[in-house]
Structure 1
């Protein structure tokens, strides 16, 4: 005996297994189910077209804008460091020659003054003339050496490591702390230590109650001095610069120093006298909260 259609109240004979509902149904219901499936293709086509348009109008430059800005800032910072070292060495080179020239000029002025005095006095001895000639000859020899001065400049190639810049996709407006590198150093700070600090390529300046401490790259205290001032109440004198300070993340009573991470800080400048009457320019970075 033939099997009836599985659709409720349908008395027609089933003609096959429907791929959609996995039931044995009649030819009419098979056609209806097939038409229902076909009707769902048009919305899918619309969705595909919409995605295609979004892909066509997608701007890589706009998406990568912030990332490119950070890379450009890194490049400019590197250029500044190179330019600073270049200018420093140029000044050192000029200073070496200027020092010799200044000594030569002082001696020449002295001899010229001596000759002028002898001429004005209309009186000179053979010893005066011999001494002047000897001194002038020595100055000529010195000038020859100055004019022929040459320097040996030993330079080393600037090695750029690809790991200086690490790129990893993270959700927008979200900082994934699990992507941070392992802790490189940990500084334990006493209660009462202020959060303000600053650093450069060689040193880190922090407040470890009750002292202001200068640390080297190994986090050893190089120098410290007793500090009476409340860094939390320091007046802002220069807040129009934003510094990108890498490798520093604050916790409650210690600073965990990570590699290849960035935090934004506001720069303020203060001047104060430390021990030995040495005037040092301190740049404190206050965390933007």
Structure 2
């Protein structure tokens, strides 16, 4: 039995079945249907032509500019490392010659002393004279060796591993909290260590009581030094000082060089029990361990001179406590505990004015005896919040909304983004590395 035409209002019965869309149409509307389909291709032609024009106009230099800056920085850092190593070996070379010359000078002084003794006593024998001649001849021989025979230097070629730099296609979202069960590296931590850790692009500094340790991207310990300056509350990396900054529970702040782990106590104009720290390019931001927390900004280029001090209600309210502070791209992320209603907030502020950009209430109940709630920045100006009391990790987008929330076992106590594609999560007993 003939089917009616599917076009609304048409009184004719269908004469054909359109195979491309499986619709029954009369002859009149078949032509209209065909023309309407043909008409939709014209905008598509315009779109593809526009895309072709845009593709032709793409500038490779502009596209690679940001990545090339990172490569240039890596090259400069490598040159700096090579130059430091070269200077070290030059100093060693000088020291070898200084030691040889000093040793020869001691021999000359000893011979001179014996000669003066013989002259004063006028009691020299033929044997004594021969001995002096032999000693002088030996000194002459050694001096000639110093002049004409250089130190032997054994060189090993500098081998470049092709895996030092990897270039990969970007991903829209590189972090999936549901896939954090597959760590590719695991490092055992001492159970008396505090969870503080900080990193630059090359190394990660962790508290490994009774030591502090530098780890590379394969979780290998490349440097370790004893630490006897109290509990480490927080640490951060300063690129302009090429050093880590560490605060303890004794109102003290330390500068730690990343190549030698040399420790230098910093003299500050302000003295407080510090709780958390973070660095921008030119400043360090510190919070003190009190209700109604203050935020201090010190200039890294002028011997840690105080720049600003924000007090309640600008820093937080008098009944609030800042548990952690993290800098990223001109902003400060604050973990704030509210005593009046036991809620926990993540707030993003301007690092220059402390104006609030957004505020997010997290599904965490404040507990004064819980571990510090930590926050770290990740790619695309997004954030991770680590809450060990309930084993939760929150992934926060740059607009202040929660992208994902998941549980992590064993309970996490801290996390940092190591380089651009490694997430390091620390628990009480272990440190795990994840590829993003």
Q: TM-score, normalised by structure 1?
A: 0.61
Give the whole-Å Cα distance in 2 for the aligned partners of 1:164 and 1:40: 50
Matches within 5 A, 1:210-229: 211-214=210-213, 224=226, 226-229=228-231
Give the whole-Å Cα distance in 2 for the aligned partners of 1:202 and 1:170: 23
Summarize the Cα distance change of 1:107–1:142 in structure 2 as closer, same or farther, 3 Å threshold. same
Give the whole-Å Cα distance in 1 for the aligned partners of 2:108 and 2:201: 45
1:23 aligns with 2:24: yes
Q: TM-score, normalised by structure 2?
A: 0.44
Q: 1:250 aligns with which of 425, 430, 435?
A: 425
RMSD of aligned alpha carbons: 5.0
1:44 aligns with 2:29: no
Alignment match, 2:186:
185
Alignment match, 1:282:
none
1:195 Cα offset (Å): 0.4
Give the whole-Å Cα distance in 2 for the aligned partners of 1:87 and 1:134: 39
Aligned-partner SS, 2:23: coil
Give the whole-Å Cα distance in 2 for the aligned partners of 1:149 and 1:212: 44
1:79 aligns with 2:61: no
CA contact (8 A) 1:180 1:258 kept: no
Give the whole-Å Cα distance in 2 for the aligned partners of 1:195 and 1:38: 65
Alignment match, 1:89:
89
Q: 1:235 aligns with which of 253, 273, 285?
A: 253
- Give the structure with the higher percent helix: 1
Give the whole-Å Cα distance in 1 for the aligned partners of 2:180 and 2:72: 22
1:32 aligns with 2:32: yes
Give the whole-Å Cα distance in 1 for the aligned partners of 2:424 and 2:198: 11
Give the whole-Å Cα distance in 2 for the aligned partners of 1:82 and 1:146: 28
The number of equivalent residue pairs is: 255
Structure 1: tracts of 5 or more residues without a match:
262-289
1:112 Cα offset (Å): 7.5
CA contact (8 A) 2:204 2:418 kept: no
Alignment match, 1:152:
152
Aligned-partner SS, 1:73: helix
CA contact (8 A) 2:426 2:432 kept: no
| Residues 231-258 of structure 1 deviation map (CA, whole Å, 9 limit, x = unaligned) | 444437695589x965672334255253
Summarize the Cα distance change of 1:54–1:176 in structure 2 as closer, same or farther, 3 Å threshold. farther
Summarize the Cα distance change of 1:191–1:91 in structure 2 as closer, same or farther, 3 Å threshold. closer
- Give the structure with the higher percent strand: 2
Summarize the Cα distance change of 1:224–1:3 in structure 2 as closer, same or farther, 3 Å threshold. closer
